[in-house]
Every structure is written in C-alpha cells, then in structure tokens.
Amino acid sequence: MSSENWKNTVKKTATKFAAAVAITGAIGVGAAAAQETFKVGIVTFLSGGAAESFGIPAWNGGELLINLLNQGGVLPPPYDQPGFGGMMIEAIPVDESGGATKQVQEFRNLVQRENVDAVLGYVSSGDCLAIPPVADELKAFTILYDCGTPRVFEEGSYEYVFRTAAHAAMDNISLARYMESRGIEANTIAGINQDYAWGQDSWADFVASMSVLVPDAEVETALFPKIFAGQYGTEISALIRVNADVVHSSLWGGDLQAFVLQAGPRGLFERSQVALAAGDHVMPQLGNKMPDGVIIGARGMNGLAARANASPLTNLLWEAYEEEYGVFPVQAPFRMWQGILGLKVAVETAMAANGGNKPTAEELAAAMTGQEWEAPSGLIQMVLGNGHQAIQPNAIGTTKWDDATGQMTLVDIEYYSATCVNPPAGVKAIDWIHDGFPGAVCD
C-alpha cells in the first residue's frame, strides 16, 4: 500500500470511528457500554487459493458491516443499535491459510493473547473440524461462519461452538429438486468435482438426491481432478464424449473459472445442462464469459438470488458493498453477514438477560443456542446439532446475460424453504437423502 493510500485509509477509519462515537453518544447508550469494545477474531483466507473467491470478499463484507454497525442507526431494526449492545466492535483479522495445525495455534493466540470475546471464522472444512475441540477446551465462544462439512455437528457436540450457515448437503439437494421441479431432462448425469472432501461429498449428495427425485438418472462418469489443477482439456473431452444430459460440478474459485473458460469454446454448455452447485461467486469476474442457461447455486439464498428477493436489509448491504468495492456481493460476504448479525443478536440477547453487562462465553452460548434471526440471506435458524447448527433457505437459478446492464443475472429462480432442503434435527443429511427426505416441508 502506498503511503498516500495508507494515509487515506487511516483518515477514512478515523472519520468512521468519530462518526460511530458521535452517533453512539447521540442515541443515549450507557457510558460504560460506549467505552467498552467487543473484540472479535475474524479468521478467513486472506491469501492462498480460496482468498480471492471466499476469504477476501467475506472480509470485505465483514469490515463493511462492522463499520455500519459501529455507526449505529444505519441498518434497519433490530440491527440499529450501535455495535454489539452499544459496545464498539473491534475486528482482529487472521489469515486462515497454512492448514489446521497452524489455525489451532492462531486460535489459541486469539483467545489467550488477544483476549477476544468471540472468534468468527473458517472456510476450510478441515479447520472447522480441528477448531471446535480447542474452542471447548478454552471455553471460547466460536462461530463457524462458512465451511460446509456436515460432520462438525453430525459427529460431534460442542458447548461453545456454533455454525451460522447451513451445511453443504443443502446445496445439492436443492440442485436435484430444481432438476425435478423444472422438468430438466436428466436421464444421464456426469460430474466433475475436486478430489477432496468437498468435491466428493458434493457429488455423493447430488447423486443420492437424484436417485430419489429422478430415479431414472444414470451416472455416466464421475471425474475428480486434483484441486487447483487448472487444466481441464482432457476432462472436458471425456464429458463431451459421454454426452450426459446433466453435468454437475462443485468446482470453485480459479478452478471453476478455468473450467468455464476452457469448456465454453468446446461447446460443453450447448451439449449438456451444466449445474454448478456453488458457482455464483465467479459470476462477477467471468461476466459474459459465463454462458447463458447454466444452473447456479450460491450455498444459500445469497448473491443475485437474495438481491432478487430484495429485503431492505439486503438492499442496504448490497448497495453499500457495490459502492465500496465496485462489484456486487456473492455468497461469501452473505455468509459473513449472517454470522456477524447472529453474533450481534446473541450478544444483545445475553445482555438483555444479564442486566446490560458484557456477556461471558457461557452467556453467549446460552443466548445463541436455538436462536434465530433475519439475515440478508433469509431467516437463519439454529435448529440442528442441539441448537448449534443453522438451517437456512436456499435458491437456485439459471444464468442469463443482460446486455442493458452489462451484468450477469439469474432467471427462473426457485426458492426453497430451509425445512425443504435441510434434514430435521437428529438426522444425518446423507441418511435423510437416502430415506427420501422424510418430514421435508417445502413451500
């Protein structure tokens, strides 16, 4: 960063802080609360392969929301009180890259040296599996805001750990429901997914869901290139050769961008219906290089699907994000927003119960258990994992380039209620799929 940029950033931050202090005073929050801060360690990928697609947009969205919350009175109720219950929010960003062992050390640093009041983070499923036991050991209130593996609360139980986003099974159940409800021909399916837990699980969930909803669908081929492979020429040949009706992919980031760039000119998108389980995050970068007619999910009612649903909260954050960063928000900032807003609700609920004091980790955990709140991505309900794991609505749409605005849009969007695409409490996602979604409530 140049010295000029640095000065501007400092000046901007100082102005925002001054405004926050002024507004806090003006609306009459108690003096003790106004002077106190709530320290949150925010852990996400600031470098490495997942930074550009998930980490940086999430951090940008988080920083933006924290600034707005600290100003107070900007967001609609119930988020209009400054900071968290009048306490200014102090974010301490930590880079998630480096693997689970490093992250456990970073987590200990945040809790024991930085004395944070809460940790909110983790995109990688590996990190999400490694952190919870340490969080419980240190009695540190922790929110997992992004990662997808269902294993965290299906195989474990934690007192101080919560996940404010639905796990990944929802993504592929929704895709299969979209195929069924839209009558998309899917007699044969093929897949290209990365060769690690995320890709393997996504494919397994999709195939299992299709076998229930579209029982005639047959798997032609399942390709699992290495993560960050970058070259997909051979895989594209194999997909075109088998000529499946539907090609499923949960590729993300640079891998997905490369796949779209290489498959487009070779006609894969014209020959097969391509369905991208989590593909919305590459749309701003690819622009019109993303073909029309691709079925896209966003791991929740996020990004363009949320914009189309237009709540005042979504519109406000969407426009602020676009103005600040010159690009529209995709799934990552939405998950960060729902995590931060969930934390705000938990802090303020706990403060209401303890007479307005800064809540302890135990009080936060009690307030968060079974909590629900409105986020830009819809109603978030902590109903799984004994009230520690969220469910949320989802949306699937189809890409269509809009020449007038020069932006990719989503059309034919189908919205799914949380209870339609998430298993009920006490049931493992894959068992729920295999059993034919018993108890699913679809609007």
Positions in the binding site for other proteins (CB under 8 A): 47-49, 51-52, 56, 195, 221-226, 228-231, 233-235, 237-238, 240-241, 243, 253-254, 257-258, 261-262, 264-267, 285-286, 289
Whichever of 262 and 315 has its CB closer to other proteins, that residue is: 262
Residue 8's φ and ψ, nearest 5 degrees, are -60, -40
We find the least distance from the C-beta atom of residue 42 to other proteins, in angstroms, to be: 17
Whichever of 256 and 301 has its CB closer to other proteins, that residue is: 256
Whichever of 48 and 126 has its CB closer to other proteins, that residue is: 48
> What secondary structure, in 3-state letters, does 260-276 show?
HHHHCCCCHHHHCEEEE
Which three-class secondary structure state does DSSP give residue 221?
strand
Strand residue runs (E) in 161-298: 161-163, 188-192, 218-223, 246-249, 273-276, 295-297
We find the least distance from the C-beta atom of residue 49 to other proteins, in angstroms, to be: 5
We find the least distance from the C-beta atom of residue 183 to other proteins, in angstroms, to be: 26
Decide: 91 and 40 in contact? Cβ < 8 Å: yes
We find the least distance from the C-beta atom of residue 5 to other proteins, in angstroms, to be: 13
Partners of 275 in the β-ladder:
248, 295
Residue closest to 49 by CA, chosen among 251, 327, 333: 251
We find the least distance from the C-beta atom of residue 241 to other proteins, in angstroms, to be: 6
- Rounded to whole angstroms, how far apart are CA atoms 341 and 346? 9
- Residues 6 or more apart whose CB falls under 8 angstroms from that of 48 comprise 55, 96, 97
Decide: 313 and 76 in contact? Cβ < 8 Å: yes
- Rounded to whole angstroms, how far apart are CA atoms 316 and 109? 35
Whichever of 76 and 233 has its CB closer to other proteins, that residue is: 233
We find the least distance from the C-beta atom of residue 107 to other proteins, in angstroms, to be: 24
Whichever of 39 and 289 has its CB closer to other proteins, that residue is: 289
Whichever of 213 and 246 has its CB closer to other proteins, that residue is: 246
